[in-house]
A and B are shown apart, each in its own frame.
Chain A
Amino acid sequence: MQSNTLTIAGTEFTSRLFIGTGKFSSASLMNKAVLASGSELATVALKRVNPEDQTEDIHTALQKTGIRLLPNTSGVRTAKEAVFAAQLAREALETNWIKLEIHPDPKYLLPDPVETLLATEKLVKLGFVVMPYIHADPVLCKRLEEVGAQCVMPLGAPIGSNKGLKTLDFLEIIVEQSSVPVIVDAGIGSPSHAAAAMEMGADAVLVNTAIAVSDNPIAMAEAFKLAVRAGRTAYTARLAPVKTGAEASSPLTSFLSENQ
């Protein structure tokens, strides 16, 4: 039986659900949701980390859960700013892992592919484990692999939209072609979206808004945990075939029997 853990930069994860930490109504609720999700990796916006504040600081609260923290560069608009933010994150959180987010567009927060590629290349050279958030662009994914990204994080739909896998056709190509883990990030709005991503072959999903803004984030976190497990199990078990349509009658291969 082969291992079903996910490995990124030598670190094994048994849960394939990664979780975002924005939009929760309190740090306490966030903690409970994170624990209910079973996730082993939570992203945290560096801009929200306040090492001085020991009360409601998100970083301090998350540390109590024992979950691995993944700082993100949310808020930066260029590769240069991203590199600076990553260096700050390394100092503040004592990790060389970075979720690279560069979105100059303040409305939809769509990632800038050019700056992301430049920043990834630079950060890899500086010793970072880079996890880039990107549009579902198969060519960009291969370019990111080549410069040393440890995974790719294509979006399913715009951040926070909860619209699901609007980029499905491109995600399928990315999963097919990728040599590094593919983590579907952004747009996943319901457990069924997460399950669909996992059934399709994604290595993990990252969810935030769908859990944080639900009426019951703790229950929703658990629902996502189960959905991700179900989707992954279905993928490894291989889905049953879809029935093929009616067959035409004139044979194409009759020449073979005449030929033997």
Chain B
Amino acid sequence: MSVLFQQKNTGTYEQATGEGFYPVFRKYDWDGIRTSIYEKTTSDVYRALSCKKRSLEDFKALISPAAKPFLEQMARESMRITRQRFGKTIQMYAPMYLSNECQNICTYCGFSLTNKIPRRTLTNNEILREADFLKQKGYDHILLVTGEANRTVGVSYLKNAIKLIRPYFSNISIEVQPLETEEYNALIAEGLYAVLVYQETYHEECYKIHHPKGKKSNFKYRLHTPDRLGQAEIHKTGLGALFGLEDWRTDSFFTALHLRYLQKKYWKTRYSISFPRLRPHSGGLEPKVVMTDTDLAQLIFAYRLLDEDVELSLSTRESMAFRDNMIKLGVNSISAESKTNPGGYVVDPKSLEQFEICDERTTEEIAGMIRRKGYEVVWKDWEKGY
């Protein structure tokens, strides 16, 4: 069904049609958006900080270089909003890599088809051994990750994996290749809760350069994945850009635009944002654009000021010091003790990682740190069926 298009005003952005996000996305010119972000002034930032409801124009101001002197104010407001919405709680999750087989060439990824690494896909028994390890650590929210290899880790494999581990975990998410709506429906019926699908970059030409081969090279198909998830009425969709490929500010604007579009159109779905920065890996790519810790903190604050409800997640890609400090300031979900290789917890700890993690503390250490900060560690926050 086509939803009536309505230009709300000059300060907000156009909304959905029945054709998915791409027609909306195409109305925005990358260079023009980039320039408008970098031209934001101190008074734009003042306004954005003072608003009751913030628009995407305010978001631009908050991620602009002009906002750098206001980082402390942004942090304070981000902390206030996060506490009001989520209380003093942090949700814990762990990734579980099921396979490193992949038919794509991605210039920045260790699983890329051209990387001559041993490929491995976990068997039923191996999946259960990994699940058992994470369950004993206390995890109830698990994120299943694979490369993009439809023949070996297609829907039937994922369906089986979810069925296998469903008795162990209340909350099962996936970060795998984009699927069709009916395929998501089938996985949701097995107990799937959330799907994370990062666009990597919203710069269409740059995207093509970094994804020269494989199904992932289809920019539009990937861009429409959250639309298909919305149509499947998934409980939660995770968005994000991979920082390092292109200008992080412009990519973040498009992520926020995507978020707003989805929130209006698929209003029954929850949304989360993650902030992956390029990390070292086998056959590594040097980041084109460096995003500093200060930049990342500014972005997290900006998202929280834009949207008090969106879940903000920090992975173990980030340093111990950064994660410890950011816990109070805007994020509400973190992973710990992550292994980014299939079977990395117990089955085959030495298999090749997708990327190196930075915060290598154990789950117990991180949970202890969260508690010492006066926060509750939340392991379970969802139950299928109600």
Q: Which A positions have Cβ atoms within 8 angstroms of B?
A: 2-4, 7-9, 142, 145-146, 148, 150-151, 172, 176-181, 201, 203, 235-236, 238, 240-244, 247-248, 251-253, 255-260
Whether the pair B75, A145 counts as a contact (CB closer than 8 A) is: no
In the bound complex, CA of A248 to CA of B79 (Å): 13
A201 touches B72 (CB 8 A): no
Residue among B73, B76, B263, B267 with the highest chain A CB neighbour number at 10 A: B267
**Bound Cα distance from A179 to B1, whole angstroms:** 13
Q: Does A201 lie within 8 Å of B264, measured CB to CB?
A: no
- With A145-B3, A179-B264 as known contacts, state yes or no: A252 contacts B76, CB within 8 Å: yes
Distance of B302 from chain A, by nearest CB (Å): 13
Q: A238-B47, A241-B47 are in contact. Are A3 and B6 (CB under 8 A)?
A: no
A259 touching B75, Cβ below 8 Å: no
- B: residues with CB less than 8 A from A are 1, 3-11, 15-16, 46-47, 49-53, 71-73, 75-76, 79, 263-265, 267, 292-294, 297, 319, 321-322, 325, 328-329
18 extra A-B contacts, CB within 8 A, seeds A253-B75, A253-B329: A2-B10, A7-B7, A177-B267, A201-B9, A203-B6, A238-B47, A240-B47, A241-B46, A241-B49, A244-B49, A251-B72, A252-B75, A252-B79, A252-B325, A253-B71, A253-B297, A260-B292, A260-B294
Known: A179-B3, A181-B6, A203-B6. Contact between A172 and B79, CB under 8 A? Answer: no
Taking a contact as CB atoms under 8 Å apart, the answer to whether B47 and A252 are in contact is: no
Bound complex: CA A247 to CA B1 (Å): 49
In the complex, the answer to whether B321 meets A150 with C-beta atoms within 8 Å is: no
When the two chains form their complex, are residues B263 and A177 in contact, meaning their CB atoms are under 8 A apart?
Answer: yes
What are 30 pairs between A and B in contact, CB < 8 Å? A2-B10, A3-B7, A4-B10, A7-B7, A145-B3, A146-B1, A148-B1, A151-B4, A177-B264, A178-B264, A179-B264, A179-B265, A180-B3, A180-B4, A180-B6, A203-B6, A235-B9, A236-B11, A238-B11, A242-B50, A247-B73, A251-B72, A252-B72, A253-B297, A253-B329, A256-B293, A256-B325, A257-B294, A258-B321, A260-B292
Question: Chain A: interface secondary structure?
Answer: loop
Nearest opposing residue in chain B for A178, CB measure = B264
> Across the interface, which residues of B come within 8 angstroms of A148, CB to CB?
1
Residues of A within 8 A of B325 (CB): 252, 255-256
Contact B4 A179 (CB under 8 A): yes
Chain B nearest Cβ from A251, distance in angstroms = 6
Q: How far is the CB of A184 from chain B (nearest CB, A)?
A: 15
**Chain A residues within 8 Å of B4, by CB:** 8-9, 150-151, 179-181
In the complex, are the beta carbons of B46 and A259 less than 8 A apart?
Answer: no
Which residues of B lie under 8 Å from residue A150 when comparing CB positions?
A: 4
> Which residues does chain B contribute within 8 Å of A180, judged by CB atoms?
3-4, 6
In the complex where A179-B15, A179-B265 touch, is A256 in contact with B3 (Cβ < 8 A)? no
Would A256 and B297 count as touching, CB distance under 8 A? Answer: yes
C-alpha spacing A32/B18, complex, angstroms: 42
A253 touches B72 (CB 8 A): yes
Which A residues lie within 8 Å of B9 (CB)?
4, 201, 235-236
List chain B residues, Cβ under 8 A from A142: 267
Contacts of B329 in A (CB 8 A): 252-253
Q: Complex: how many Å from CA A235 to CA B52?
A: 13
